[in-house]
Structures are given as structure tokens and as C-alpha cells.
A and B are shown apart, each in its own frame.
Chain A
Amino acid sequence: MLEIKNLHISLVENKNHQRPMVRQVSLQVSPHRPFTLIGETGCGKSLIAHAIFNLLPPEMKISGCLRYLGRNLLNCSARAIQHMWGREVFLFPQEPGTALNPLCRSRFQVSEIFKRVCDTRLSRATSRDLWIKLFHQVGLSVRDGKKFPWQLSGGMNQRVLAVMAMAEPARLVVADEPTKGLDPAKRQITLDLLRKMSDMGKGLLVISHDLEVPRQLGGDLAVMYAGTIMESGPADIVLNQPRHPYTRALLKALPENGLHPIPLKINGHTFQGGCLFSPRCKSTLDQCFHLKPPEYTMKSGLTVSLNKNLGKPHDPQPNPSEKLPHIIRCHHGCAG
């Protein structure tokens, strides 16, 4: 459904200097299989979401391939992408408080989707039935529909947003930090809503820094660090048998695993090239500091960029013509 290949986003600071923010990211989202992108703040994961919606500020330069249902979004005009908003792709925003118009009742903001986006000939009664049905699905009452966003709690507003995501004809929902700042109970509600969306057959790309999200949602998981994907694969594999030191360190930093922080810098190493995580990595080899790590694909479905000998590396920079079969072939090659 959504296929991102070698996506590169850089900030143009001046004529001669561009600072890369996202480097060669590739991922694939398909219906019924939520994809979670995990990474710490500032690693560029939100930029990917913004790139899908063409919301990047003009000083950002973008290259690579961003394919949605066969169409490369980077070649589409701004107008064409804006036409896809709501109809094809939908952004589930991180702050429900600022996303909803404070002067419109929540039922109005939901039913305008039916009337203006789905079908303009829809009668008032039908759209009423539709929003009431969806409200009940997420546990909101009809009376909540009469209220304004500022009269509802943050969790309720998030459910209103979820209702919108379900109402939209969009087949791909990108959720940007849906659990940011929520307590565990509310996080559970939000995750249930996301799973419901995924079960409806919508493609789901969740961007988060919360490891609980992929654990609950399942599907695929990619771990990002400094604009690159370090490790990706099925969520349970990445979470239970990680190969990359960064993923391991992330898991160790969880409270239930002992709350070991990832040090800011180790032994005074500074980044000179090679693996981006090398300055903070505890288990470095010599080549880590100057060699760009190759990408390995394991039997379990895990893809990892690591400077360790894990078998035959998969070509780190595939040609644009390369298609999935090649990866599968490489997959077999790793078996040994």
C-alpha cells in the first residue's frame, strides 16, 4: 500500500551545506498489518509522516521514492496530494486539543466528513446514523456529539479523532505520536482504537517513541536512529530477539528491564563516519567507526544494519529497479 524506498530528507542550511535529517529509509505498509516506527525524539520519524502529506517546510529537500498504491507521491503536484488528503491518506494528529476546531461541535466535525468528503448527496438523517454508530463503537455517547472539543477530555477528543479516521474513506492512516503524554489507561484506549482501524482494513503507519505501541499492535516494527533505520522486522521478533545494540539498549532502558539509560557518549568517541550509533554504542568493533554498516536480513524476517559478520550482507544500496524478489533471494542467502 505504502512503499517508501531510499527516502532522504535534508535541511538546506545554505547553498553549500545540507544537513541530512532522514537517510535512505525504506519501509512498507500493507493493510491489516500495522507498521510502527520507533525512535527517540529528533531522529526524523515525524519528518517521514510530514513527507507523506507534503507538509515539510520549503527549506527541506527530499529525494527517493514515496509510493502510495503505485503512485510516487514525490512526483505529484501539491494540489494532487492535497486532493488525496482525507480521501486517500489521513493523519491522526498527536494533539487532539489543537487539531479540533474549538468553535464547532464534535458531531459537526465528524459529520462534515460524511457530507463533504465521502458523499455530498448524503442526507442529514443518514449521516446522523453514521456518526452515532461510530461514536458508539468507540464508547462515546450521542450527548458527547453535542459538546464542543473544549468540553470533552483529552481522551474523549482522541476518540473523536479516531471516529474521524474511521469515517474517512482514506485507506492509509498515519498516526504521529498517538500516545504522547498519555497515562497507561488512556494509552490502552488509543491503542485499541488504532487496532480497530487496522482491523477495518486500513493501512496503519504509527510513529512513536513508545515501545509499548508495537508490542500491542503487532505488525511490523522499524527502529530508527539519527535518520536511519537500524533494525526492522516483525514486531515480536524485533522486540524479543533484537540483533542491533541500539534496540537492545532501548529495551534495557525500559523500567521493567532495569532502567539503564543509553549514555550520551562513550569514551569520548565522536562521530567520524561509519555507523551512526557508534559513538554511543557499548559493543563497538574497529570497523564501526569508519565503515558504513551493511544490511543483513535474517531468517526470522529481521533486517539489521550492523558491522558484524552475520552472514552474507544484503546490498546496502539497492538499485531502484530492484524489487522484492531480490530481497527474498537474499533472505535465502542468509540461511547459511
Chain B
Amino acid sequence: MEKIARCIALRFFQGLFVAFGVSTLTFVLLMAMPGDLAVKVTMARYGEDGLSNERIEMVRTDSGLDRSPLWLYGKWLGHTLSFNLGYSMISGRPVRDVLRFHMGLSFKLAAAAMLISLILALPMGIISGLRPGSRMDLSASAFSSLMVSMPSFVVGAFFILLLAIRFRVFPAAGFQGSAHLVLPATTLGIGLCAISSRVIRTAVVEVKNSFYLLFARIKGLSGIHLALNHGIRNASVPVITFLALQMAHVLDGVVVLENLFNWPGIGFLLLESIQGRDIPMIQAVSLFIGLFYVGANLTADLICAWLDPRVLSQKGDI
């Protein structure tokens, strides 16, 4: 129990640190940006026609841009830590709403990709783990080695060329229906499966060669009971822990592929706001992604501790 508490505390402080780091980073970026910020904000809020000196002054006093940077920084930090995300500098819409929309789409893509990767990786990993050295194992190994070195956007481009341009089976861009989801999710899923199938294989080989599995059979156990309690249960510990960790990394791939397939998810939003220098939006997106990352890591820790009670009794880092 003490171990769980320590682990939660660690992740909690990491979360705090991420929030602190993100807000500091965006503040620095804000200050480093050339030009008068008040003018820019006014312009973003009212459009170029609505630019007047009164409005600029109003914005300046409203947002505290006339005060010292230190005061501003304190306020900035306070806002971040209280999850007051503010308004987009470009569209003027509440960041919270925009984020929610894009977040939902990204989750949809990530979930579909994870599903596809599991559908591919489970049979691949299990079969090659049960027969290490077989033809199936070697080809699966070759496949993952190639896929790990392949940039996902090139794989995606290949799919677009083949399935969207040549054969027109699936649409290449857009986000309306589930047909639009197929290509990006498959591309991402294949990339994920290249790694997770190897992890599954390793876990299966380890359990298969373990003496406790043989001993359970010598005890006279067989069939589903044996497979469930002495095979799958043990093999699932590293696999599920890894999948939870992979969730943290799935957003890395999502950002790149969303751009390729014009899928308006979180990565698309991030890129768009970086190009438009929409500081509150950049801040919100990176804060969200950072916290998601920490949260996924925490989930992995907790799942690991739940599945394998040994973790709790060992000393040292999780």
C-alpha cells in the first residue's frame, strides 16, 4: 500500500510539474514573441478593422499587460493551476470547448488504432511466442523490425496512394464517418502493433518456458483452467502494463498522422495554434497532453501493481 501511495504521489507531483512547466514555457514564449502583445490580442479579438487605441488600452489593462512581467507570470501560473484556460486569441472561442471537440476526435482515432493494433498483435505475438524460431515467428519479427524503422507518415502516404487514390476504397481525408477513420487508424495501428506484438511474444515465450506452467500440468491441470490461471494470467502482466504505457505514447503518433489525414484532432489543433501563435491554445493543448501522459503512466503503474502483487513488496523504483 505504501508503495502505491508513493507511486501516486510521484505521478501527482509530475502532474503538478507538467502544469508548472507548461505554463512557464508558454509564458516565456509569450514574452519572447515579437511585437506589442496588446495590439495582437486586440487584433485577434476584434479583427483588424476593430483596432483602436481605446480598445488596445482596454485590453492592456484588462489582461494586465501594463503590469510587471512577474505579476503577470504569477497570474498566468494561477490560471493554469486552476484550469482556467481562457479564450482563443484567434477565434475568441472558449479554449475549453475547442479542446473538448478536438480531444474527442483524437480519442476516437487513438482508440480505433489501439483496437486495430491489438487485433493484429495478439495473434501475431501469441503464435510466434508459442513457436519461437518458426517461419511465422521470423516473418513477424522481420515485419516489426521493418515497421519500427518506417516513419508512420510514409506508411500513411502509401495507404493513401493505394487505397484512396488508386482504388478509391477509403477516403483519404476528413472526419465525418467511420470510413474516414479506417486509413489513419490502420496506419497508426500497424505502427503500434509492430512493437506490441514483440512484447506479447516475449511474454508468451517466458510463460511457456516457465517451470510453474509445467508443474501446474504435472499437478494434473489441463484445459481452460490451466491456460487461464497459469498461462494467460502470467503473460498478461507485462502485456497489459506495456499497453498502458503505449497509451501514453499513442498521442505522439496521433499528432503526425492527424496532419497527414486532415483529421481535426488534438495534434491538428496544436499545429494550427502553433502556426497562428495562439498562445492560450498551445498552452491548453500541451497541458492536456502532458497531463494525459502522466495519467497514462500512472494507470500503467496501478495496473501493474494490481496484476502483479509482487511489485508492491519489492524495493526500489517502479
Contact = CB atoms under 8 A, between A and B. Distances in A.
- The reply, when asked whether chain A contacts chain B directly with Cβ atoms under 8 A, is yes
Interface stretch (A61-69, A110-118, A252-260, A282-290): A110-118
Contact of A116 (B211, B221, B237, B313): B221
B257 to A, nearest CB: 37
Contacts of A95: 211
A90 B210 contact: no
A36 to B, nearest CB: 21
24 contacts: A53-B218, A82-B217, A85-B217, A86-B218, A86-B220, A86-B221, A90-B219, A95-B211, A98-B210, A98-B211, A99-B212, A101-B212, A101-B213, A101-B216, A101-B229, A101-B234, A103-B237, A104-B229, A104-B230, A104-B233, A108-B229, A112-B219, A116-B221, A168-B220
B221 A99 contact: no
A91 B221 CA distance: 13
Contact of A87 (B214, B220, B237): B220
B211 A99 contact: yes
Given A103-B237, A113-B220, A93 B313 contact: no
Contacts of A55: 214
Closest 6 CB pairs of A and B: A86-B220, A117-B220, A99-B215, A98-B211, A101-B212, A86-B219
A18 interface: no
B236 to A, nearest CB: 10
B67 interface: no
Given A93-B215, A102-B310, A164-B219, 8 more contacts: A82-B222, A91-B215, A101-B212, A101-B229, A112-B229, A116-B220, A116-B221, A148-B309
Contact of B308 (A98, A103, A151, A170): A103
The interface size bin for chain A is: 20 to 34
Interface in A176-203: none
A150 B311 CA distance: 11
Contacts of A168: 219-220
B166 interface: no
Contact of B220 (A85, A98, A101, A108): A85
Interface of A: 53, 55, 82, 85-87, 90-91, 93, 95, 98-104, 108, 112-113, 116-117, 148, 150-151, 164, 168, 170
Contacts of A116: 220-221, 225
Interface residues of B, number: 24
Contacts of B214: 55
Interface in B75-99: none
Contacts of A91: 215, 218
Interface of B: 210-222, 225, 229-230, 233-234, 237, 307-310, 313
B219 A117 contact: yes
A112 B229 CA distance: 10
A113 B219 contact: yes
Given A101-B229, A103-B234, A116-B225, A85 B218 contact: yes
A169 to B, nearest CB: 8
Nearest to A112: B221
A90 B215 CA distance: 9
A90 B234 contact: no
Contacts of A86: 218-221
B225 to A, nearest CB: 5
Q: Kindly name the residue among A86, A113, A148 whose own CB sees the greatest number of chain B CB atoms within 10 A.
A: A86
A117 B221 contact: yes
A79 B216 CA distance: 16
Given A148-B309, A148-B310, A151-B313, A102 B212 contact: yes
Contact of A101 (B218, B225, B230): B230
A150 B313 contact: yes
B212 to A, nearest CB: 4
Contacts of A164: 219
